[in-house]
Amino acid sequence: MKFDQEAIIKTLLDGNYITADDIKKAGEYAEEHRGSPIEYLITEGLASNDIIGQAIAESLKVPYSNLKTKEPSKEQVLLIPEEIAKKFHVVVFDENSRETIIASDDPKNEDLAKELAVIFPNKKIKLTFSLSDDIDAAFVAYQQGLKTKFSKIIAAKGRIVPEIWDQIFEDALLLKTSDIHCEPQEKKVVIRFRIDGILHDAGEIPKEFYENVVNRLKVQAKLRIDEHFSAQDGAIRYVPKNYPHPVDLRVSIVPVLDGEKIAIRVLSSYVRDLTLSDVGLSKELQDQIEKSSKKPFGMILVTGPTGSGKTTTLYSILKIVNTLKTNITTIEDPVEYKIDGINQIQVNNQTNLTFAKGLRAITRQDPNIILVGEIRDLETADIAVNASLTGHLLFSTFHANNASAAIPRFIDMGIEPFLAGSTIEMVIAQRLVRRICDSCKVSQTMTKAKINKFGPEVSKYFVGDNFTFYRGKGCESCSHTGYKGRIGIFEFMTTSPELQDLIGKSPSTKDVLSLVRTQGFKTMFEDGVEKIKAGITTIDELLRVITPQ
C-alpha cells in the first residue's frame, strides 16, 4: 500500500525521532535526487527501517509489531493459510489467552478483517502494522520443498508446466536466490538455487516433463524452440503473483549430455534499495568515495571476481552522484537495475554494440559521469582512459584479485603507465561473506591454541588468551545454515601524489602494496577480521572467500 509520506514525516518529527533540520535536508535531497525524503532518512542513517515502521503504525493509529526483534514461530505463521497470508501480507505476530495479534502491512484493510474473522472465529483479533519485507521473510515457514510441490502439481493434472515454473520462481524469490539452475541427468532434472553465493539442491522434475518445461521457458525468453544443440541466451520480465514488482531474468540454455541445461540469473531485485552502509562499507570508505566521486574527472575502479558484489557497490555509488545537475550515462551487460534519471545502454553483441563501441558513442555525447560495466580489453581501457583525461568521471569494474594488483594488471593490458597514474583516482576491491544469522547467533570462546590452528596469517590478528566469536547454530529462518544474507569486505586505495609517481614507473603489486601500507592502507582480509570481531561473520567464512595477503 502507499503511505502518506507527509503524515509519516509529521509523526517522526512529533515523536522527536528526527529534527526539523533533517527534514529540510531530506526535502532538498528528494528534490535534487528525484527520490523521496524517507529514502534520504534511511540512507543517511537518520532513521532506521524500524523507526519508519513505527511512524507508519502511529500514523495509522495501530501498534507496531517489530518482526525483526520477535520472529513468530513456524506454528504461528502456519495458523493463517498460505494463500491468504501471501495475498494480504499478513502473519500472526503473537498470541495470548485473550487475543491473537496479527501483523499486516495494511491493517485497515476491511477484506483482511473479514478473512481473519473466518480463520479465528472464537478469538479477539488485534491488528498491528509491520513492514512488508519483514512479513514476507516469515513466509519461509510455508516452505515444503519443491519436490513435494511438483508431485502435487503433477498429481493434480492441471496446467503442469506453467505451474512448475510459477512454483520455481516463487520459491526462488522467497529464498532470495540469485541464480536458478536446471541440470538434466539421466532420469531426472535437478533444480538448484544459489543463495548467498552457495548452490543448494531445491528439488527435482521427472525427466518426462522436462522438454515442455524447457520449451515454455524458450518461448518466454524469445529463443528458438527447435534449436537443441547450440547455446542460446535470452531475457524474461517475469511478473510474480505475490511479489511487489516485476523481476528481470537472464536465461541461458546450454546443451549437455543429458539434455539442455538451464541457468537463470535473477537480476538484482533485492539490491534495489541497498545503500553503501548496507553493502558493508565503513563510514571512512563512504566518505572517501563521496569525495572522489565529486571530482570532475578521473577513474574509479571496483575489482573482484564474478559474484563479489561489484555491480551493487557501483549502483550504490551512482545513487550518491545522481543529481539533477549531473548527466550520467552507463553501458552495461546486463543492465541490472533501471535507475531514474540515468541513461542506461545495454551491450548487445548481436548488433555489435560492445563496451568499446558504446563507450565511444557515449563520450561523444559528453556526459559528466560514465559507468562502464566492465573493462576487459585494451580497446575499452584506452577509450576509458581518454574519457577520464578529457573531463569525465568514469566508473568501471575490472578483473583483479585485489586493489594493489589492479594497477600492474591495468598497465599490462597495454595502457601507458603515466596515463594510468594520472587517471586512476581510486581502486576498490571487494568480496562478499555470508552474515551470521541474527535469529540463531550464539557466542563461543576460543583459546589462542585453537586460533593458532588457522595459521599465523590469521592468528596474528588475535592478541591475548581467549576470544569471543559468534556463529549461527542454525534455525528455520536461515534454512539451518547459520548464515543469512551477505555483506561486503573491502579495501580501497586512493591515488596520492606518491602513488601517482610510482604508477608512472610501472610498479609490481608488491611495490604498490608496500607504498600504500605506509599510507594507512588496510587489506580486505583485515576488514574481514574486523567484521569477525564485530560478530558479523566467521573465520571459516572469511577464509572461504579469501586467503590472507
By the criterion CB under 5 A, which residues form the site for Zn ion? 437, 439-440, 472, 475, 477-478
Nearer Cβ to Zn ion, position 75 or 83? 75
Q: How many CB atoms lie within 10 A of CB 295?
A: 12
Short-list 299, 74, 266, CA closest to 175: 266
Q: How far is the CB of 538 from Zn ion (least distance, A)?
A: 13
Q: SS3 for 51?
A: helix
Q: How far is the CB of 473 from Zn ion (least distance, A)?
A: 7
Torsion angle of C-alpha atoms 369, 371, 372, 378, degrees rounded to 10: 40
Nearer Cβ to Zn ion, position 193 or 395? 193
Cβ-count burial 439-463 (b if 16+ within 10 Å, e if not): ebbeeeeeeeeebeebeeebbebbe
Q: How far is the CB of 122 from Zn ion (least distance, A)?
A: 34
Nearer Cβ to Zn ion, position 386 or 439? 439
Nearer Cβ to Zn ion, position 71 or 332? 71
Nearer Cβ to Zn ion, position 372 or 440? 440
Short-list 134, 137, 133, 129, CA closest to 54: 129
Nearer Cβ to Zn ion, position 100 or 477? 477
Nearer Cβ to Zn ion, position 312 or 477? 477
Q: How far is the CB of 482 from Zn ion (least distance, A)?
A: 6
Q: How many CB atoms lie within 10 A of CB 501?
A: 13
Q: How far apart are CA 195 and CA 485, in angstroms?
A: 8
Short-list 372, 293, 367, CA closest to 335: 372
Q: How far is the CB of 470 from Zn ion (least distance, A)?
A: 12
Torsion angle of C-alpha atoms 216, 220, 222, 228, degrees rounded to 10: -20
Q: How far apart are CA 357 and CA 362, in angstroms?
A: 9
Q: How far is the CB of 74 from Zn ion (least distance, A)?
A: 13
Q: How far apart are CA 505 and CA 416, in angstroms?
A: 10
Nearer Cβ to Zn ion, position 307 or 474? 474
Nearer Cβ to Zn ion, position 438 or 511? 438
408 sits in the region (left: phi over 0; alpha: psi -120 to 50; else beta) called alpha
What cell does 48 get? 532506521
Side-chain half-sphere exposure of 544, counting CA atoms within 13 A: 13
Going by C-beta distance under 8 Å and a sequence separation of 6 or more, which residues neighbour residue 227? none
Q: How far is the CB of 170 from Zn ion (least distance, A)?
A: 22
Q: How far is the CB of 507 from Zn ion (least distance, A)?
A: 45
Q: How far apart are CA 521 and CA 514, in angstroms?
A: 9
Q: How far is the CB of 484 from Zn ion (least distance, A)?
A: 6
- Bridge partners of 469, per DSSP, are 444
